[in-house]
Amino acid sequence: MTPGRYRPALITLLALAPLAGCGEAMGPPPVEPPAPPTPAAVETLSGGGQRAVQGLSLVDPVVVRVLDAEGQPLSGETVTFTPATGNGSADPASVTTAGDGRAATTWTLGPDPGQHTMAVAAANATATVAAVALDLEAELDTLFVAPSDAEIDAVRADWAARDVSAVNATVVLEEPTDLAGSSARLRIVSHSVAGARHYGAIIVPEGAAERSLPVLAYLHGGDGGVSIGDLQIAAFALGELRDSFVYVLPSFRAEPLVHGDSVWVSEGPPSPWDYDVDDVLALLNVAIETTPEAKADSISLFGGSRGGGVALLAGVRDARIARIVAFFGPTYFFDDWVREIVREAALRMPRQLTGVAHLDSTVIQPRIRGEYSLGDARLELVRRSSALFARDLPSVQLHHGTIDQTVSVSQAEALIAAMEALGRGAPDFEAYIYEGGGHDVLGLGAAIPRAVAFLARALGPGAAQAVSQYPAQLRKDDK
């Protein structure tokens, strides 16, 4: 056989052999990997439907979650928050979702009141979040409309339903004490008011006969509590009359009563001016029931600032209270001065004044968020406004300075106007406005001797005449 005869066929076989082997090595075609899941939905978890004053941020962040087509959260996705034109801004405007698919932002509303919207997007998935921008001035206009007779009657009914009887009264401390140079007996007592434990002090001059002494309660200002030393100052101011009263010193709920190194803190949530009155009336009941020397039908109150407002409200609620000396206390929560305080608080710039933080947290901010009705908010102002109940007040002596930067003199003027409308004047109602006077008893001219002469009426005409250094009737604008 000639070798060259079969050479072309051999070459062809050798050429095809590698191709056949290669096909067997590759096997079936490769499978493409599945496409990664993409955003299919954006759900709002929280933060929608809030209310805030126009131009302010919502209190709670807007929180969303990005889900795939199977409803599973997606991480690492970019979410954009875009308020509609004029509807404010989001910070941050773009957020990458966390492992649970969540993203959050703070939404600051635009300057115009009304419904605001914000678009939320992750790829092609979108959602819309809504909020309400409140017209602050319109809100204030409705809040500060003069109260109706029905609202005033509703507050009267609320007061009448409260129990201020002396419950579970206990003496926690009793000891002799010095009363501005005279011997006296101090008792620290506790009792229950609406289920909360309350503390107060009672001081009785030594040697007094049974039912011989009128009661004088000192109601403190501020929100830092009260000490026995505060009462000593009041007793010193009374001078020769210091042995003529049973003294009652209430703390207010959630605040301390201090005596030396000892501190007793009354229970219950704070309630400036409103439930303060319950604390006062309940302690007066304890004092009368447990103090043989006290005259139950002769009660006088002396208070400044917060305490002045509390004293006036207590006088409205308890007919046993015969006279009140009130220094620069609030009397009318519907005037322009209070409106400005509420405006500032609504704008999250509350004044550092007693009671403002409480009203802001319990009334103003809940009202803005829609958690508190307009009617309920108005009743909170009514029940702190003694001028609305002027016809129920006992004899009152009022003191206020024209440049008081803590409590505006407009508060005294409101009560003066209410009493004048009823035809009530001296000696039943005396009001002294001190030109250039501030929020300081010692800076109000002859206020202290006037107050002493007024309180001396509890002791009878002779005592009042003996201490009076001024005419019985003075013009309210006398310095």
Q: Which CATH number is 447's domain given? A: 3.40.50.1820
Answer whether residue 362 is part of any domain: no
Local confidence band at 131 (pLDDT 50, 70, 90 cut-offs): very high
Same-domain status, 321 and 443: yes
The answer to whether the beta carbons of residues 259 and 201 sit under 8 Å apart is yes
Same-domain status, 99 and 205: no
Local confidence band at 55 (pLDDT 50, 70, 90 cut-offs): very high
Same-domain status, 393 and 260: yes
Answer whether residue 478 is part of any domain: no
Answer whether residue 453 is part of any domain: yes
Same-domain status, 176 and 225: yes
Answer whether residue 365 is part of any domain: no
Interatomic CA distance for residues 116 and 243, integer angstroms: 67
Task: Give the tens place of pLDDT for each residue, 262-292.
Answer: 999 999 999 999 999 999 999 999 999 999 9
Same-domain status, 178 and 309: yes
Per-residue pLDDT at 13: 40
Local confidence band at 6 (pLDDT 50, 70, 90 cut-offs): very low
Task: Give the tens place of pLDDT for each residue, 285-318.
Answer: 999 999 999 999 999 999 999 999 999 999 999 9
Answer whether residue 477 is part of any domain: no
Same-domain status, 130 and 172: no
Q: Does 170 score more than 60 pLDDT?
A: yes
Is-cis flag, bond preceding 28, omega within 30? no
Same-domain status, 128 and 233: no
Same-domain status, 113 and 188: no
Task: Give the tens place of pLDDT for each residue, 400-448.
Answer: 999 999 999 999 999 999 999 999 999 999 999 999 999 999 999 999 9
Interatomic CA distance for residues 398 and 377, integer angstroms: 28
Per-residue pLDDT at 159: 98
Answer whether residue 363 is part of any domain: no
Answer whether residue 339 is part of any domain: no
pTM: 0.88
Q: Which residues contact 319 (CB under 8 A, 6 or more apart)?
A: 394
Domain that holds residue 453: 165-333+384-467
Same-domain status, 88 and 182: no
pLDDT, greater one: 154 or 29: 154
Q: Which CATH number is 103's domain given? A: 2.60.40.10
Local confidence band at 77 (pLDDT 50, 70, 90 cut-offs): very high
Interatomic CA distance for residues 190 and 113, integer angstroms: 51
Q: Which value, in Å, is the radius of gyration of the alpha carbons in the chain?
A: 37
Same-domain status, 128 and 209: no
Distances 379 to 6, 124, 291, 336 between C-alpha atoms, Å: 117, 50, 36, 17
Answer whether residue 1 is part of any domain: no
Same-domain status, 109 and 193: no
Number of domains in the chain: 2
Per-residue pLDDT at 467: 63
Same-domain status, 180 and 54: no
Tokens standing for residue 14? 């050798």
Q: Which residues contact 361 (CB under 8 A, 6 or more apart)?
A: none
Q: Tell me the DSSP string of 396-453.
A: EEEEEETT-SSS-THHHHHHHHHHHHTT--TTTEEEEEETT--S-GGGSTTHHHHHHH
Mapping DSSP to helix (H, G, I), strand (E, B) and coil, where does residue 81 land?
strand
Per-residue pLDDT at 435: 97
Task: Give the tens place of pLDDT for each residue, 25-34.
Answer: 566 777 777 7
Task: Give the tens place of pLDDT for each residue, 229-246.
Answer: 998 888 999 999 999 999
Edge to edge, the sheet with strand 256-259 lists 226-227, 256-259, 262-265
